[in-house]
């Protein structure tokens, strides 16, 4: 079953090739999506300031500011979904893309219908359209630990001041695995399976990067973590006590 929003899906295509932007926008419009196209970082910021987008299609190999730096900026400032386009298929590129917060990767050349399927999949997993950091909604099932609440219905991490901390889809799934199995050592294979979403590859090395990012967002000192501890040679253990 495909993702069926009540409003048209709003997309931003960031690619320095005007023909690719026009081709993608035209094709995606046949699926009821509204797509704007920009050529680089400056234009992306202007468009993001003016419009609430559901998803950004971001080319990795942009001149000047590359797609990785722009993805890192988007993830730090918003919770918009991101699909990266790349002509490179090496493992290192996928790991780095996951590290900076991309929700999915599509390698050029790709089938247009595949991109549409990936868009629906990413949005189906997402917490909600245009969900930037904001005051948390009260609805949904919550798991509480320390100064944090994880709303499993809205897929939101909420701090003690009731402010949402953005999580990528892989980060959410990984944190949920930890919270649902506290004080149990979870090996990397299990965590890979938990963090992997449909159409998204997660690798052994990338789990360490995801854990590092989760610690940062949970404000867990990486030199002496108190929430997610490393068990050398085995994996990780979530040591917080769940409340309620």
Confidence of residue 98 (pLDDT cuts 50, 70, 90): low
Confidence of residue 89 (pLDDT cuts 50, 70, 90): low
Distance CA(138)–CA(167), nearest Å, equals: 18
Token readout for 205 is 């090395």
Alpha-helix runs per DSSP H in 154-244: 169-180, 188-195, 204-217
Q: What is the pLDDT of residue 14?
A: 96
Q: What percent of the chain has pLDDT over 90?
A: 29
Confidence of residue 39 (pLDDT cuts 50, 70, 90): very high
Q: What is the pLDDT of residue 68?
A: 87
The structural domains of the chain, with segments of one domain joined by +, span 9-125, 142-243
- C-alpha dihedral (110, 115, 117, 118), degrees to nearest 10: 110
What are φ and ψ of residue 230, in 5° steps? -85, 130
Confidence of residue 49 (pLDDT cuts 50, 70, 90): confident
Q: Which of 56-65, 101-110, 197-206, 225-234 has the lowest mean pLDDT?
A: 197-206
Token readout for 126 is 């997402």
Q: What is the mean pLDDT of residues 13-34?
A: 92
Q: What is the pLDDT of residue 208?
A: 82
Check whether 6 has a pLDDT greater than 50: no
CATH of the domain spanning 142-243, picked from 1.10.10.10, 3.40.50.1780, 2.40.37.10, 3.65.10.10: 1.10.10.10
Q: What is the pLDDT of residue 1?
A: 42
Check whether 131 has a pLDDT greater than 60: no
- The three-point CA angle 159-175-4 to 5° equals 90
Per-residue pLDDT of 138-195, as tens digits, reads 445 788 998 999 988 777 888 888 888 888 777 888 898 899 889 999 988 888 777 7
CATH of the domain spanning 9-125, picked from 3.40.50.2300, 2.60.40.1120, 3.20.19.10, 1.10.3720.10: 3.40.50.2300
Q: What is the pLDDT of residue 123?
A: 85
Of 215, 243, 235, 217, the C-alpha closest to 227 is: 215
> Reading across the β-sheet that carries 55-59, which strands appear in turn?
33-38, 9-14, 55-59, 81-86, 104-107
User: Within a 10 A sphere around the Cβ of 102, how many other Cβ atoms?
Assistant: 29
């Amino acid at each position: 079953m495909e993702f069926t929003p009540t409003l048209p899906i709003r997309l931003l295509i960031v690619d320095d090739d005007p023909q690719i932007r026009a081709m993608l926008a035209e094709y995606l419009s046949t699926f009821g999506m509204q797509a704007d196209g920009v050529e680089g970082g400056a234009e992306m910021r202007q468009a993001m300031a003016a419009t609430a987008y559901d998803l950004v299609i971001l080319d990795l190999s942009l001149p000047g500011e590359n797609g990785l730096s722009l993805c890192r900026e988007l993830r730090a400032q918003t919770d918009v979904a991101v699909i990266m386009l790349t002509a490179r298929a090496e493992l290192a590129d996928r790991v780095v893309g996951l590290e900076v917060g991309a929700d999915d990767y599509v390698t050029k050349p790709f089938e247009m219908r595949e991109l549409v399927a990936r868009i629906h999949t990413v949005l189906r997993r997402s917490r909600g359209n245009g969900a930037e950091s904001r005051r948390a909604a009260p609805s949904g099932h919550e798991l509480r630990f320390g100064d944090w609440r994880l709303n499993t219905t809205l897929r939101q991490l909420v701090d003690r001041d009731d402010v949402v901390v953005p999580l990528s889809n892989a980060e959410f799934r990984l944190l949920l695995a930890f919270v649902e199995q506290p004080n149990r050592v979870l090996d990397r294979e299990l965590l890979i399976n938990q963090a992997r979403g449909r159409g998204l590859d997660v690798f052994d090395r990338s789990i360490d990067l995801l854990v590092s990012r989760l610690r940062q967002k949970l404000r867990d000192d990486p030199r002496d973590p108190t929430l997610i501890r490393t068990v050398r040679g085995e994996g990780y253990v979530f040591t917080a006590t769940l409340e309620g």
